Structure 1
Amino acid sequence: MITQELNRLGFNHEDIRFARKCCLLRLSRGVYVAKHVCAVETHRPLWAGIEDSTFEAYPEYGDMRDEVTKLDAAVMARCEQQFQRRQSGSGDGTEPSDGETASSSSGTEVISHISAAIIHGLPLASPVTHQVEVVRPGINRRFANLHVRGTPIPKHHQGTIRGMRVTTLERTLVDVARAYSLEVSVAMIDDALHRHLTTPEKILTVLGQAVEKRNTKKVRRALELADGRRESPAESIAAVRFYEHGIHGMSPQVSFVIDEAGTQIRVDFCHRQARLIVEIDGLGKLYLGSGVPREELERERRREQWLRDRGWQVIRISWKELFSEAKFEEIKLAIMRSETAAAASAR
């Protein structure tokens, strides 16, 4: 919600300042979100929607997901803020944010990059920015919570979602791959391919049409590494780490038939020659399925034991370990040992 909406609900400047100490979170200048239901009755208009389940309470995880959630809320608030300006005109009292004037963004702004990815429902592997990102022709400026880029965006690279102009899915993927790390861009491309939202050919076509040519090789590298078989950002990050460490031959989402009834188990990555399985434990993975971590752990243990009994080595990588060297050196060593053993037996 924006300051204008709070004013219409009867909250003045002092009321808003008090609510920020309680149940109201400030995302940027003039942009807020209700965090939870509180005990102050006068704050009911802020969180009534949470109480009657019209919308959910602002989630807090205690990890990096909090930053992603905050950016998501800021992007949605930006869309609402711009919608209000277009509906009532720049002179309606809507509070401009981050030092801009109300007229500076009217009619020209296109949501782009990470912010557009959020609107398209793409996953953000890590909180790489706290700023809402937009494009306005000929303007390059950074405010506290807003990043304005001046790169021209062709009309056919724009669409409308929730009343806001947004870069198309393919253009968004190209822009993110050009501006951010492989772990961020590959996770988004993998997700879009996995859900059959686009194809590599369509992304390459948009890349060729873009005026900007900076980091084109980086975009192509992200496309080369992308694979729609992967099912989570954690798996995508692992694939990027394999590339960075020179590890080849890791096939994603390989299935094994475990009984005569045809029951199957699937593993995240499999290196058949080395008889090596790599499983990635992303954030919250053990809370999927049954919803009970202990049951999920037991199921994972039984799967691993089945594989080990048949001569497979299983290496698990936690979310934290994705960003360190040790596990990937262990994987490289396992593959090297298998290659050495294969060479010796061939003599």
Structure 2
Amino acid sequence: MTPTSRPDPHLENVLRRMPDAPAARKKVTSRPGWYRANVEVTRRVYVDRGWFNGLRNFERRKVRAWAVARSVKTAVLCGMSAAEIYGLPILNRNQYENVELCLPERRRPPSRRKWRDHTVYRDKYLAQADIAMVNGVYVTTIPRTYVDILLYHGELEALVFIDGALHERRTTRTELHRYLASRRGQWGIRRARNLLDDATGLAESPYETVARWLLRGVEKQLGITEIVPQAWFSTRSRQGKLQRRRVDLLVNGFLVIEIDGLIKYDERFLQERGVTYRQVMEDERYRERQIQNQGYQVLRLAPGEVWRDLIAKVTEIMKQNPQRVSPKKHFLPWAA
């Protein structure tokens, strides 16, 4: 087990635990307006309803995972629930809401009738070395979490998670390869090792990983020979200052793909950075024109359009430009 860390003081303060004794619980919940003012996160934990309703979906999932983890005695958060506690990005395309748990060593999960609401137990051996404590709760280590997400949620979900972990330097390729080598022959390890080759650690949002993954699937059909994440371009600010700016993906050296993450336009996000939506949009368009003037083509998509339109639009662009060559005015991420 890895060294422990302190509990998250903010979450510790917002969770409202019910007393164990039925009479004491009834006394608390019978207060006028209790259920209107509070929302049940788990059977024994409540939080302020107004505060909870103001959270984003991923923040609500973290609160629920935290509440469950602080309510169980021996179970360990795993899979996407562990990723939530780490604060690492997950895609969660299927809107999976259950809190995932597993038991240490060879302990078997309780019968399904005893599972708490919105929880699921994974019946898979969990070594003590695969357990860490993060913000005061027990979770699986990042390498083990990566494998579990792959097994229970698929390759794309696992790739998004490990791309984010590498990008935020929460783990290294050396650590991951060492872990996978030590579990050689176990269920899912070969798939995890192969998938790790597709992780770059450069993606700054889950949808950059999604776009790269989708394009990898049609490389041969579309004649794609190169997909570079986070390529750098030299641009100038409105004040004329030379600066280097990154783009999400550069395909075949000429097609720039930019994915407008919704967080950039979130009101709270903008307020924290002291900018307006209009300023962000004007800055992006100004940068885009400079990149186009250097001889590149720019395709800009919203996250939802990545699933629906990415392949069709890239197909059309590649057909229109079968012999197009790169202006070669960009910098590769590892050389910039």
Aligned partner (choices 155, 169, 172) of residue 128 of structure 2: 155
Q: Is the 8 A contact 1:242 1:248 kept in 2?
A: no
Corresponding residue for residue 289 of structure 2: 305
The residue correspondences of 1:32-181 to structure 2 (distance < 5 A) are 32-36=46-50, 57-58=51-52, 60=54, 65-66=56-57, 68-82=58-72, 106-107=73-74, 109-126=75-92, 128-136=95-103, 137-139=107-109, 142=112, 143=115, 144-181=117-154
1:251 maps to a residue whose letter is V
- The aligned residue for residue 191 of structure 1 is 164
Q: Deviations over 1:253-306 (max 9, x none)?
A: 111112585322221111253x11100012222345553111111111111111
Change (3 A) 1:191 1:8: farther
Aligned in 2, Cα 1:290/1:132: closer, same or farther, shift over 3 Å?
same
Paired amino acid for 2:233: F
1:284 aligns with 2:263: yes
> Which one of 233, 243, 252 corresponds to residue 256 of structure 1?
233
Normalised to the residue count of structure 1, the TM-score between the two structures is: 0.74
Residue aligning to 2:213: 240
* Corresponding residue pairs, total: 290
Residue type of the partner of 2:310? Answer: K
Identical residues among aligned pairs (%) = 24
- Is residue 2:10 matched to residue 1:4? no
Offset at 1:132? Answer: 1.2
TM-score calculated relative to the size of structure 2: 0.76
Deviation of 1:336 after TM superposition, in Å, equals 4.0
Quote the Cα distance in structure 2 between the aligned partners of 1:141 and 1:9.
Answer: 26
1:163, distance to aligned residue in structure 2 (A) = 4.0
Stretches of 4+ aligned residues off by more than 6 angstroms? 5-10
Is 1:141–1:149's contact at 8 Å kept on the other side of the alignment? no
Aligned residue type for 1:312: Y
Contact 1:159 1:168 in 2 (8 A): yes
Question: Amino acid of the residue matched to residue 130 of structure 1?
Answer: E
> What's the counterpart of residue 31 of structure 2?
15
**5+ long unaligned stretches in structure 2:** 1-15, 326-336
Matched, 1:27 2:72: no
Question: Over the residues paired in the alignment, what is the CA RMSD in angstroms?
Answer: 2.8
Residue 178 of structure 1 and its aligned partner are, at CA, apart by 2.2
Q: Which stretch of structure 1 is more off in the superposition, 264-273 or 192-201?
A: 264-273
Residue 94 of structure 1 is matched in structure 2 by none
